[in-house]
């Protein structure tokens, strides 16, 4: 296929590009090289792909990029948590308006196949299990409780701490920060577009992605990158809360393989897919694994917190496994060792 990959010069985008090229697709990359991701406004060569440097919010650039295209993989986005109200306009413009412009261009060009990179952040706290009340959704985190190191979300009915559960794709949205809200909006826009145009939208809700090429020392660096940078500087990784926050850490090559598999196979309607390892780990687990692999100081659990963070969010990836035959190939142990060597 002739594919347009937005955000193809970024961390995940480069791995998706490599996977597309390996599978024999012709690829055009549209990337704005935004300065908060590409500090000098430049990027290393994208061998095997045409690069158009432009913003998805530019209708003329979108129309040009879509010429001759059969399918679109939309990864371009402003990422990161979004900790201040002042961040809201950039998330809304970059992610929501950008996606809307791209979809409008696809309608003009009669391109009917979309693969959208979304995120597990759309679930918020996901689902908790209460011994008395079963599966429940916790309320917003309360700063007065966090200050007292009461980190576990309580049952909204009895107030007891909740056990964790894997989150399936049918769990209702519960966005709790600016980035999450923008991802929910992207998914709704994609569904609107698909209904009007009879297009297909495969939506991938990535969990915590790590691997070679991660951004470092930027506002968009993931926790694995932050820990690795600290250890290489001879510093102990500093872990928020009590270190027991559960996440699903998934290697970027597995993310890329899943993304291209959905692009190739999903051709009808709107379907969301969790993309994760399927094996929950704590943030403290990752910090310790990296400290040991890099032979650095042991992690320091700080008790610090960010109100917009969620406590636990882990994936049920059975839909992607069962419907498309995808399975992660990189183990947590091998992935941590690779980070240490990089």
Residue from 179, 206, 210, 305 carrying the catalytic annotation: 179
For residue 179, indicate whether it is catalytic.
Answer: yes
The span from the CA of 307 to the CA of 296, in Å, is 29
Cα–Cα distance between 76 and 79 in angstroms, integer? 9
The Cα 241–Cα 282 span in angstroms is 11
Separation in Å, CA 301 to CA 38, 96, 157: 31, 36, 30
Tokens of 322: 């069962």
At which residue do the structure tokens 């261009």 appear? 105
Q: How far is CA 102 from the centre of its chain?
A: 19
> E strands within the chain?
2-6, 26-31, 49-53, 71-74, 113-119, 128-130, 134-136, 163-164, 200-206, 208-210, 238-239, 246-247, 249-251, 270-275, 281-282, 300-301
Q: Which are the catalytic amino acids?
A: 179
């Amino acid at each position: 296929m002739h594919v347009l990959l937005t955000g193809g010069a970024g961390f995940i985008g480069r791995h998706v590009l490599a996977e597309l090229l390996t599978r024999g697709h012709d690829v055009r990359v549209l990337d704005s090289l935004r300065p908060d991701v590409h500090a000098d406004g430049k990027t290393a060569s994208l061998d095997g792909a045409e690069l158009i440097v432009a913003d998805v919010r530019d209708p003329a650039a979108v129309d040009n990029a879509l010429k001759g295209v059969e399918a679109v993989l939309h990864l371009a986005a402003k990422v990161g948590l979004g900790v201040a109200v002042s961040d809201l306009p950039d998330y809304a413009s970059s992610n929501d308006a950008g996606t809307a412009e791209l979809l409008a261009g696809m309608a003009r060009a009669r391109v009917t196949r979309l693969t959208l990179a979304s995120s597990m952040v759309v679930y918020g706290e996901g689902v908790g299990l209460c011994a008395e009340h079963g599966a429940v959704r916790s309320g917003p985190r309360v700063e007065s409780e966090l200050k007292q190191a009461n980190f576990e979300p309580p049952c909204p009915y009895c107030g007891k701490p909740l056990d964790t559960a894997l989150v399936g794709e049918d769990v209702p949205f519960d966005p709790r920060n600016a980035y999450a809200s923008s991802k929910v909006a992207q998914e709704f826009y994609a569904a609107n577009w698909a209904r009007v145009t009879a297009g297909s939208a495969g939506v991938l809700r990535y969990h915590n992605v790590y691997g070679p090429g991660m951004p470092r020392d930027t506002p968009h660096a993931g926790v694995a990158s932050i820990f690795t940078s600290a250890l290489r500087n001879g510093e102990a990784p500093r872990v928020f809360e009590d270190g027991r926050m559960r996440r699903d850490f998934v290697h970027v090559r597995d993310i890329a393989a899943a993304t291209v598999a959905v692009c190739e196979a999903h051709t009808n309607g709107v379907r969301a897919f969790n993309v994760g390892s399927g094996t929950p780990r704590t943030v403290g687990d990752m910090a310790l694994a990296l400290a040991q692999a890099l032979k650095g100081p042991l992690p320091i659990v700080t008790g610090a917190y960010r109100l917009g963070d969620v406590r636990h969010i882990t994936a049920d990836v059975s839909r992607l496994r069962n419907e498309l035959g995808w399975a992660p190939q990189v183990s947590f142990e091998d992935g941590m060792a690779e980070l240490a060597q990089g």
